[in-house]
């Protein structure tokens, strides 16, 4: 006796419907400005997707941290647990957007000491590419190390600096009055 694929699928679906399935949250269950915990599941050109209790949220790269990053995968990794704040949750539109940076205070506005030009600071390398890298200081501030054009052909940062490694850096510029992506310049 031959059973059609449709009948087999119906039988399978019938079995599944009798089992108790775990209840997943829906977008409308989330409240704007509430804190949520999730896990990075994918990267996109605009940022990343975060799985929060079975619902996938968008995390724009501008909302990852208080500094400019060119790509989410330079800063995050798949499976990483993250804390976020819900920015938008609308089930009708399917819009579910979260922010990691809103879950922590802006380090430039806190009562933390701002490094001065000429200071030597310790920092963890967050991301490295051919012409620069992002470094996170213990205070939560992020600084940029850029390679000058004349050095770009002869020096590849990726061969000398590894993500998550801690190094000492010299502060070249620290100016809280300029846009966040240009506030802290470092030199290796």
CATH number for the domain that contains residue 130 = 2.40.50.140
Please give the Cα distance from 164 to 123 (Å, whole number): 9
User: What length is written for the chain?
Assistant: 188
pTM for the whole structure: 0.65
Nearest to 67 by CA among 164, 149, 145, 171: 145
Instruction: Count CB atoms within 10 A of the CB of residue 114.
Output: 16
What is the tally of structural domains in the chain? Answer: 2
Is the model more confident about 52 or about 181? 52
3-class DSSP assignment, residue 158: helix
- Is residue 72 in a domain? yes
Which of 68, 103, 138 represents a domain boundary (last residue)?
103
Which of 73, 103, 133 represents a domain boundary (last residue)?
103
Range of the domain at 163: 120-187
- Is residue 9 in a domain? no
Is residue 86 domain-shared with residue 133, that is, in the same domain? Answer: no
pLDDT at residue 147 above 90?
no
Which of 76, 103, 130 represents a domain boundary (last residue)?
103
Encode pLDDT of 71-126 as tens digits: 888 789 999 999 999 999 988 888 899 999 999 888 877 777 888 899 999 999 88
Please give the Cα distance from 91 to 171 (Å, whole number): 46
Confidence of residue 145 (pLDDT cuts 50, 70, 90): confident
pLDDT at position 2 is 40
Is residue 147 domain-shared with residue 99, that is, in the same domain? Answer: no
**Partners of residue 38 on adjacent β-strands:** 82
């Amino acid at each position: 006796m031959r059973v059609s694929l449709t009948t087999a699928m119906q039988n399978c679906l019938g079995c599944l419907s009798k089992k108790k399935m775990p209840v997943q949250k829906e977008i409308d269950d989330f409240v704007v400005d509430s804190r949520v915990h999730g896990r990075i599941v994918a990267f996109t050109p605009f940022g990343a997707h975060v799985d929060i209790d079975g619902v996938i949220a968008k995390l724009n790269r501008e909302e990852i941290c208080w500094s400019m990053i060119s790509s989410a995968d330079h800063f995050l990794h798949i499976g990483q647990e993250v804390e976020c704040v819900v920015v938008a949750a609308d089930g009708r539109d399917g819009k579910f957007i979260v922010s990691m940076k809103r879950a922590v205070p802006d380090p430039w506005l806190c009562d933390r000491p701002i490094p001065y030009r000429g200071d030597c600071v310790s920092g963890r390398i967050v991301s490295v590419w051919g012409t620069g890298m992002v470094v996170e200081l213990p205070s939560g501030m992020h600084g940029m190390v850029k390679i000058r054009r004349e050095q770009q052909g002869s020096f590849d940062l990726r061969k000398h600096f590894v993500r998550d490694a801690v190094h000492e850096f010299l502060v070249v510029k620290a100016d809280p009055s300029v846009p966040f992506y240009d506030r802290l310049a470092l030199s290796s």
